Structure 1
Amino acid sequence: MNTNYDLTEDIRNYWSRRSKTFDFAFGHRIAAGREAEAWAQPMRDHLGEPPCRVLELACGTGEVTRLVHDLGHDVTALDFSEDMLAIARAKHAGKPRLRFLMADAGRTMEPDESYDAILCRHLVWTLVEPEAAFADWFRIMRPGGRLLIFDGNWAKPSPSGRWAAHLLALWDRLSPDPHYDGAMSDAHGTIMERLPFGKGLTFDMLAPMLADAGFNMIERLSHDPIAKAQRRTNGLRNGLRTRVYDRFILTARKPG
């Protein structure tokens, strides 16, 4: 059996199992107010003037979906877990300009040049065949289209985040969080060791790969405004979590 197929199914099963408690875990649910505004600002700045036809890859339970849709865009929210999609559909039942699609973010099967913009949050590190995925995203994007990626290096704490990781490890031993499945958990670990980005994902790794796929105007934006908003609206434990990993926002364009 194809090894990549096996890994893809393991990833699908992992996220499907997490679907019912996903929104209880820090980093997935987006609180209204300051945090939602911080997430929405890069979308407002870099997806184009609404209404654009936007593809959200790996939409999960539909948290980012809400923000993109509220900006006035026509949204297709894609995920390969039916369990995740069921929750997202229930959240957004009856909304116009919104469709949900069950498909693989690495092989969308969508028509050529059919989207003005593509975005994803915390997806790229899970890609089984990233080069093929980026080529597919380039194919389905219209000339002049925009790409917006929120992601990070989840393989190990950043040098400045090691102290926070140590405090969290102690905290978790004393009082385990039933909903938070951190990037260093056993479940994550068994998947990550088999992924192309299993040893880490950085902007400097990702940018040349996107350039090879044909994208240009590739830029890094700071994730700090989001982290600061999260610290204002969450407790100390989750505030520490914002300091552990190196997170980044990437924007790019398809020439046109």
Structure 2
Amino acid sequence: MGDASMHSDQTAGGANFTLRDEIKAYWSARAATFDLSPGHEIFSEEERAAWHALIKRHLGPGDGRKALDLASGTGVISHLMDDLGYRVTGIDWSEAMLERARAKAASRGRAIRFQLGDAESTLEADDSYDVIVTRHLVWTLVDPLACFREWLRVLKPGGRLLIIDGDFVNTSLAERLVKRLAAVLERTGAAKAQAPHAPAAMADTHESILSRVHFSAGARVHAVCPMLADAGFSLVMTDTNLRQIHKAQANHFGFLKNLARGLQHRYAIVAQNPTS
């Protein structure tokens, strides 16, 4: 679900293996268990309603407008947009993710179009979407400015971009203490063990990729917003109040892990393609 545009020194099959290839392989390997993790799939109607409220607050109702879900993964955000009446296209560059997204949409009777594509080069027509939404994509980008310019190109004049992301690198002392306490309670059986957010065996791969993307020091609002402006967007607002979503997820994360998420620098950014 991430995207990148930088070469690494690794090789695979005798050819250069780029960081883009590594990211694609990583998320493809995550596809089989992606929807099992709280914070990825929606596990309650309360959480679904909280996401709907966030989207409507910043993008308004769908009313048949065209929406592009970039790095759509298994289609979680695409389904939320479809719920609200948007005509949704989801783009991801992992076929493994897309297979699950298409199967999920078919099982729910949803008319969502999912296609293989690159967030930096979508191959979509100019001025073709009313809204673009991304969740947890920006922190993975190697060339975010190129991506933002591409998103501006396919967004209609006056159209809005909604970025939902966070700084998953820098952790506060309070967050670290809460996470340690949660781990101790799980080990001792005092708290129910939660499903891991990512397989432990892939932790090294994740850290290696993270160290080489553009926002390796953390994708904080003050780093992302100026780059959106450089790409030609006008900033509408930033929103760090995701408490309703975190509250709805609490039953699935457990109190302490959900508290740790609430302490993270998570946000929504709304930007607009200026009207011509």
Return the TM-score normalized by structure 2. 0.84
Q: Is the 8 A contact 2:159 2:272 kept in 1?
A: yes
When residues 114 and 41 of structure 1 are mapped into structure 2, their CA distance, relative to the original with a 3 A threshold, is: same
Matches within 5 A, 1:197-212: 197-212=215-230
Give the alignment partner of residue 88 of structure 1, picking from 85, 96, 101: 101
Q: Give 1:179 deviation, angstroms.
A: 3.6
Q: Is the 8 A contact 1:151 1:248 kept in 2?
A: yes
Matches within 5 A, 1:217-236: 217-221=235-239, 222-232=241-251, 234-236=253-255
Q: Is the 8 A contact 1:182 1:188 kept in 2?
A: no
Matches within 5 A, 1:1-256: 3=7, 6-49=18-61, 50-93=63-106, 95=109, 97-170=111-184, 179-181=196-198, 185-221=203-239, 222-232=241-251, 234-236=253-255, 238-256=257-275
SS in 2 for 1:242: helix
When residues 189 and 96 of structure 1 are mapped into structure 2, their CA distance, relative to the original with a 3 A threshold, is: closer
2:209 partner amino acid: I
Q: Give 1:167 deviation, angstroms.
A: 2.2
Q: Distance in 2 between matches of 1:213 and 1:169?
A: 42
When residues 234 and 166 of structure 1 are mapped into structure 2, their CA distance, relative to the original with a 3 A threshold, is: closer
Q: Which moved more, 1:167-176 or 1:102-111?
A: 167-176
Residue 3 of structure 2 is matched in structure 1 by none
Q: CA RMSD in A?
A: 2.4
Q: Is the 8 A contact 1:150 1:250 kept in 2?
A: yes
Q: Give 1:64 deviation, angstroms.
A: 1.3
1:239 partner amino acid: N
State, as a whole percentage, how many aligned pairs show the same letter.
Answer: 40
Q: Which moved more, 1:235-244 or 1:203-212?
A: 235-244
2:254 partner amino acid: G
Q: Distance in 1 between matches of 2:199 and 2:219?
A: 16
Q: Is the 8 A contact 1:53 1:73 kept in 2?
A: yes
Larger Rg, first or second structure (1 or 2): 2
Return the TM-score normalized by structure 1. 0.90
When residues 106 and 158 of structure 1 are mapped into structure 2, their CA distance, relative to the original with a 3 A threshold, is: farther
SS in 2 for 1:247: strand
1:180 partner amino acid: H
**Structure 2: tracts of 5 or more residues without a match:** 1-5, 9-16
Q: In the TM superposition, what whole-angstrom CA distance separates every residue of 1:100-137 from its partner, at most 9, and x where no partner exists?
A: 11101122121111000000111100112100000000
Q: Give 1:194 deviation, angstroms.
A: 0.6
When residues 97 and 255 of structure 1 are mapped into structure 2, their CA distance, relative to the original with a 3 A threshold, is: farther
Q: Is the 8 A contact 2:71 2:134 kept in 1?
A: yes
Q: Is the 8 A contact 1:78 1:100 kept in 2?
A: yes
Q: Distance in 2 between matches of 1:147 and 1:31?
A: 26
SS in 2 for 1:93: helix
